Amino acid sequence: TVDVAVRGNEARLLKAAQNPKAALAADPVYEPPHAAHTDERPVVIGFGPGGMFAALALALAGLRPIVLERGLDAAARHEKVLEFWRTGTLDPASNVQFGEGGAGTFSDGKLNTGVNDPRIRWILEQFAAAGADESILWDAKPHIGTDVLLTVVQNLRKRILALGGEVRFGAQVTGLLQENGRLTGLEVREGGSVSVLPCRRAVLAIGHSARDTFEMLLQSGVPMEPKAFSMGVRIEHRQAMVNASQYGAFADRLGAADYKLNARFPDGTSAYTFCMCPGGHVVAAAS
């Protein structure tokens, strides 16, 4: 996709071009919402991508959010993951799934999405401002890389802190306190002790691996519904074969090639490729 600035009337030029693939470029602009001043601090549960950007948006709105993350900060978590890969010794609270940056921290920081939303550009800009390569602002399939992402997520946290937010690692929400059907507080386990954090508004950004938290929410009467899912298989190709099929004679001069396929069948079902790691390494998300 190429975005072109032209002299003259864009609509008239577009009509004269008679090209069905050409369209007026929309420049989506997203501004995080503003909020009225309040001493009541919202709580964000989980510090993966969802929790991180929820906390950033709340901090930019002046609401000084408190983030509770059961895992550890990126540097300490990285050591835990390396230890698990070397020895098989697992820390159940801080691993490939849990900790600063969420599971995405160890998935090469791929930023692909099929969703069309004006907030996407804003999110990419925040990543770039936190140290990601600026190519993510124009690359069709942007990724940051796990080695860089470890620094980027820490920089995003520092920005949240500078805006008055608070991030507490090793803090797991184990219960909800309610009164007349409304949230009044959170039961939080930190180290070997459990305390109550007064709270009326909480954002659940717990990912898909916190099974114990889902069980607690169900027992607490929080309405939930099952989400549709796709069955997946892993296909491995030699990179040289993919490069040759995509680039032909130029395969030895270009970088690692990728591809994307999808098909719909008469019965309404479909099959599609979801995630690809061209030229990279497949990291097991075992816990």
- Cα distance between residue 18 and residue 85, in whole Å: 57
Residue 66's closest CA among 164, 191, 192, 188?
164
pLDDT score for 104: 81
Describe the strand order of the beta sheet including 66-69 as a list of residue ranges: 166-169, 66-69, 43-45, 202-204
CA-to-CA distance for 53 and 127, rounded, in angstroms? 10
pLDDT value, residue 29: 84
Low-confidence stretches of the chain (pLDDT < 50) are none
The predicted pLDDT at position 284 comes to: 66
Express each pLDDT in 168-197 by its tens digit. Answer: 999 999 999 999 989 999 999 998 899 999
- The pLDDT of residue 125 is 94
Q: What is the reported pLDDT for 152?
A: 94
Longest C-alpha distance within the chain, in Å? 71
pTM of the model: 0.84
Residue 248 DSSP one-character state: G
Q: What is the pLDDT of residue 77?
A: 92
Tell me: the pLDDT tens digits for 84-103? 989 999 999 999 889 999 98
What is the residue-wise DSSP string for 125-164?
A: HHHHHTT--GGGGT-SS-B--HHHHHHHHHHHHHHHHHTT
